[in-house]
A = this chain, B = another copy of it.
Amino acid sequence: MASPETIPVSDAPLDSRAEATRRRVLDVAARLFRERGYAGVSLRAIAAAAGLKAGSLYYHFDSKEALVVEILDEGIRAVHEAVEQAVSALPADADGATLLETAIRAHLESLLRLSDYTSANVRVFGQAPEPVRRRSLAVRRAYDACWDALLAEAQARGAIRADADLRAARLLLLGALNASLEWFEPRRGGVEALAARYADLLWHGLAPRPAAA
Bits for A188-213, please: 1 = Cβ < 8 Å to B, else 0.
Answer: 00000010011001111111110100
Total copies of the chain: 2
Instruction: Name the B residues within 8 Å of A211 (CB-CB).
Output: 204, 209, 211
B207 touching A159, Cβ below 8 Å: yes
**A interface, over-half SS:** helix
Contact of A203 (CB < 8 Å), options: B123, B161, B206: B206
A160 is an interface residue with CB less than 8 A from chain B: yes
A5 is an interface residue with CB less than 8 A from chain B: no
Within 8 A of B (CB), among A130-187: 154, 158-162, 164-165, 168-169, 171-180, 182-183
Chain A interfacial positions (CB closer than 8 Å to B): 34-40, 97, 100, 123-124, 126-127, 154, 158-162, 164-165, 168-169, 171-180, 182-183, 194, 197-198, 201-209, 211
